[in-house]
């Protein structure tokens, strides 16, 4: 456009615009001085600032503070009062950055992430319930399992026809007695199933001096030990797709938990069995393993390129959600 302005006085506007491919209308529009934009007059229907404030105060009043503009509009209209349209009420609220949904609604609490530590057996238990398929469609049996987090030892289990707080209460009370749990000794962790959060279970634990904690909703990682134990159960090659009866389910679980507690060398606890760690036999077993490895090393040291081998260490702690250490 600047080239057109420079050449137009000597060569003419039309030839220069044609030669440079510039529209003459654009050139002439450029030459017109820009005036100040004319202010748009406010429509006569516009509410005054005082009227808008009056409406906002009404929407904030105790009577209407949790009512939608539609409800406020209809109520006032039935009382013979018209202040403005529903849309205007929404605009006034939006101008003040207020939420349009004004009704009282359910507020979900902010659930705290559980951070639980066990440094010995019978300090922290985790329990859960899983379904076992029955002989026909829509038939289930319910397996209740209580697990010691530190040792992974299954301290209590039960197969029942239904999920119920009374059954959970009975199993927990019996397991506490079997393990001789003292008041103030134990924390029991569970998810937020109906039986886990029931009043009956809560009262039982309070009476026995047991602390209860719960996972956050829909966060399976908050109860990882129970979830992992159920996976071990259901990934067994002999685990059936369906159980013919509740007696079959109980027999299978009896065999499984006997193997799990006493024969299964758990990778999470130094390849010890849960029973060995739970009942304090780990030092003896680990010492024996050291002796076997030392004998093997002294017999054929050339086979151990990294030197004297050591058995897996005895675990000293188990966390549910260990705290995140800040790098700063």
Q: What does the pLDDT look like over 283-317, one tens digit per residue?
A: 999 999 999 999 999 999 999 999 999 999 999 99
Residue 264: what pLDDT?
97
pTM of this structure: 0.68
Residue 103: what pLDDT?
64
Phi, psi of 200 (to 5 degrees): -60, -45
Q: What does the pLDDT look like over 48-82, one tens digit per residue?
A: 899 999 999 998 888 888 888 888 999 999 989 89
Alpha-carbon distance 148 to 217, whole Å?
22
Domain count, the chain: 3
The CATH code of the domain that includes 166 is: 3.30.420.10
Alpha-carbon distance 56 to 97, whole Å?
12
pLDDT bucket at 37, cuts 50 / 70 / 90? low
- Torsion region of 41: left, alpha or beta (phi above 0 gives left; psi -120 to 50 gives alpha): beta
Around Cβ 175, how many Cβ atoms within 10 Å? Answer: 20
167 and 227 belong to one structural domain: yes
249 and 186 belong to one structural domain: yes
| Average pLDDT of the segment spanning 256-285 | 97
24 and 54 belong to one structural domain: no
24 and 55 belong to one structural domain: no
Q: Is the pLDDT of residue 168 over 70?
A: yes
Question: For 138-172, b where at least 16 C-beta lie within 10 A, e where not — what string?
Answer: eeebbbbbbbbbbbbbbbbbbbbeebbbebbbbbb
80 and 161 belong to one structural domain: no
Q: Is the pLDDT of residue 241 over 70?
A: yes
Q: Is the pLDDT of residue 89 over 80?
A: yes
Residue 301: what pLDDT?
93
Average pLDDT, the chain: 90
Residue 168 lies in a domain: yes
Q: Is the pLDDT of residue 36 over 80?
A: no
Domain that holds residue 244: 116-269
Alpha-carbon distance 220 to 23, whole Å?
68
- Torsion region of 245: left, alpha or beta (phi above 0 gives left; psi -120 to 50 gives alpha): beta
Q: Is residue 22 a contact partner of residue 1, using CB atoms and an 8 Å limit?
A: yes
Counted residue by residue, the chain has a size of 328
Residue 106: what pLDDT?
57
Phi, psi of 2 (to 5 degrees): -65, -35
Residue 65: what pLDDT?
84
């Amino acid at each position: 456009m600047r080239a057109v302005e420079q050449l137009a006085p000597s060569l003419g506007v039309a030839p220069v615009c044609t030669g440079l491919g510039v529209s003459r209308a654009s050139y002439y529009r450029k030459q017109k001085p820009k005036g100040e934009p004319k202010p748009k007059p406010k429509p006569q229907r516009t509410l005054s600032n005082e009227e808008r404030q009056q409406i906002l105060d009404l929407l904030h009043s105790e009577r209407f503070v949790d009512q939608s503009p539609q409800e406020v509009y209809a109520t006032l209209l039935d009382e013979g009062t018209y202040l403005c349209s529903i849309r205007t009420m929404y605009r006034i609220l939006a101008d003040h950055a207020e939420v349009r949904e004004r009704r009282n609604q359910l507020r979900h609490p902010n659930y705290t992430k559980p951070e639980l530590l066990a440094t010995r057996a019978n300090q922290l238990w985790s329990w859960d319930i899983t379904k076992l398929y029955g002989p026909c469609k829509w038939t289930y049996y319910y397996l209740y399992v209580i697990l010691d987090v530190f040792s992974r030892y299954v301290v209590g289990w039960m197969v029942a026809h239904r999920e119920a707080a009374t059954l959970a209460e009975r199993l927990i009370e019996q397991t506490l007695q079997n393990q001789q749990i003292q008041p103030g000794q134990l924390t029991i962790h569970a998810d937020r199933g109906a039986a886990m959060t029931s009043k009956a279970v809560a009262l039982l634990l309070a009476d026995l001096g047991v602390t209860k904690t719960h996972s956050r909703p829909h966060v399976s990682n908050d109860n990882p030990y129970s979830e992992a134990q159920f996976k071990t159960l259901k990934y067994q090659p002999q685990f059936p797709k369906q159980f013919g009866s509740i007696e079959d389910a109980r027999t299978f679980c009896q065999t499984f938990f006997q193997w799990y507690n006493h024969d299964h060398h758990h990778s999470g606890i130094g390849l010890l069995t849960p029973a060995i760690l739970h009942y304090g036999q780990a030092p003896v077993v680990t010492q024996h393993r050291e002796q076997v490895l030392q004998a093997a090393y002294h017999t054929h040291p050339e086979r151990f390129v990294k030197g004297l081998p050591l058995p897996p260490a005895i675990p000293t702690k188990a966390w549910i959600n260990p705290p995140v250490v800040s790098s700063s």
